Structure 1
Amino acid sequence: MIADVKKTAEQKMIKSLESLKADLGKVRTGRAHTGILDHVMVDYYGNPTAISQVANITLMDARTIAVQPWEGKMVGAVEKAIRDADLGLNPSSQGNLIRVPMPALTEERRRDLIKLVKTEGENAKVAIRNVRRDANAQLKELLKDKAISEDDERRAQEDIQKLTDKYIAEIDKALVAKEADLMAV
């Protein structure tokens, strides 16, 4: 029972960390990469759909992404979705091709991105702490039902706290690496 609680808590913490790393991957540095647009949702006939499901996304050069919708009438919707995605990008369409130039990062924009990264990191830490809280509540429930002893509960809580500390340290490492990446010119 205790092992199940610990295992579940660790799996959820791993997912939180992976989610943070995916979110940090979306925060752009100066170079273009198609992953920036992965989470952009396009209104496709009333349904929010991932941009990769309605368009072909490629790199034109190191600083420009090309987006080519499969349907000509989707150009406006795709362009609007990219603009509204709050990525700081300003797409322009030429016929059926949408060019998404990556603006050079100014010092001010770098600072804004670092604030965003720190916010994402804080959200991930909150998620880890929520997993800890839930696991501790499950342990208290097991103790209340007399399925485990008080000593077992206390030891399990200490183990869960160690897991929490480990994953929060991993989050801090990921944040430091991303900040260094953003500040590199």
Structure 2
Amino acid sequence: MADEFELDTDDLQRRMDGAIQSLRTEFASLRTGRASGSMLEPVMVDAYGQPTPINQVGTINVPEPRMVTVNVWDKGLVQKVEKAIRESGLGINPQLNGTIIMLPIPELNEERRRELTKVAGDYAERARVAIRNLRRDGMDQIKKAKDGMAEDDQKIWESEVQELTDKYIAQVDKALETKQAEIMQV
């Protein structure tokens, strides 16, 4: 019975890769002084009774280096899109022009740079929490299979899951360090 247990470390690794990829997407949304359509990716709009990504309710364009526009397809959603952008924590003040929402990107000052590094830290912490939750799932699988498993085998599996977790947490920390350096660069 003990030999039959096989933890799917590939699945754990794939799911942890997903957490890292999600973190990279969130980091891409943090602006570093230039306009980018990807900065709006994490913004969710309450459209038709459910959270919807902003790129599914309008077209995102970057007509100038310091301007992003969102052309909302449904006139009834313009106010909701504007509200979602305002509450997103991006520090951008949307301006309405019919169904087009213009987002002028202000020059980053020292205070705003510090705020963005804190936001990046929050994103990184969420990724760490997701990875730790995956670690807990792996440990739970080991505990469920504990019956008939030698204690040494259990320790080996637990250490493997912990090593995987440590590896991915280190990736999160490295990505955060890089992003914070990029934000603080003048």
Pairwise TM-score range, normalised by the shorter structure: 0.7 to 0.9
Q: What is the match of residue 162 of structure 1? A: 163
Q: Report what 1:115 is aligned to.
A: 118
TM norm structure 2:
0.87
Equivalent-residue separation in structure 2 for 1:80 and 1:132 (angstroms): 36
- Cα contact 1:2–1:156 (8 A) shared by 2: no
The offset of 1:96, in angstroms, is: 3.4
Query: For residues 20 and 178 of structure 1, what CA distance do their matches in structure 2 show?
Result: 11
CA shift at 1:45, angstroms?
Answer: 4.4
| Unmatched tracts of structure 1, length 5 or more | none
Structure 2 residue runs without a partner (length 5+): none
Match of 1:16 among 19, 26, 51: 19
Range that drifts further, 72-81 or 173-182: 72-81
> 1:184 matched to which residue of 2?
185
Query: Which residue of 1 is the match for residue 53 of structure 2?
Result: 50
- SS for the counterpart of 1:4 is coil
> Given the superposition, is the C-alpha separation of residues 136 and 119 from structure 1 closer, same or farther in structure 2, using an over 3 Å criterion?
same
Name the TM-score, length of structure 1 as normaliser.
0.88
- The 5-angstrom pairing of residues 47-86 of structure 1 reads 47-86=50-89
RMSD of Structure 2 on Structure 1 (CA): 2.0
2:7–2:142 Cα contact (<8 Å) kept: no
How many correspondences in the alignment? 183
Partner of 1:34: 37
Aligned-residue identity in percent: 43
Following the alignment from structure 1 to structure 2, what is the Cα–Cα distance between the partners of residues 133 and 43?
Answer: 32
The superposition leaves residues 24-47 of structure 1 with CA deviations (integer Å, 9 ceiling, x where unpaired) of 111221111111112323343444
- Name the CA distance, whole Å, in 2 between partners of 1:167 and 1:77: 36
Instruction: Confirm or deny: 8 A CA contact 1:5 1:138 kept in the other structure.
Output: no
- Displacement of 1:119 in angstroms is 2.1
Q: How does 1:78-97 map to 2 (within 5 A)?
A: 78-97=81-100
Preserved contact between residue 60 and residue 71 of structure 2 (Cα < 8 Å): yes
Residue identity in the other structure for 1:164: T
Distance 1:2 1:165, change over 3 A: farther
Residue 183 (structure 1) shift = 0.9
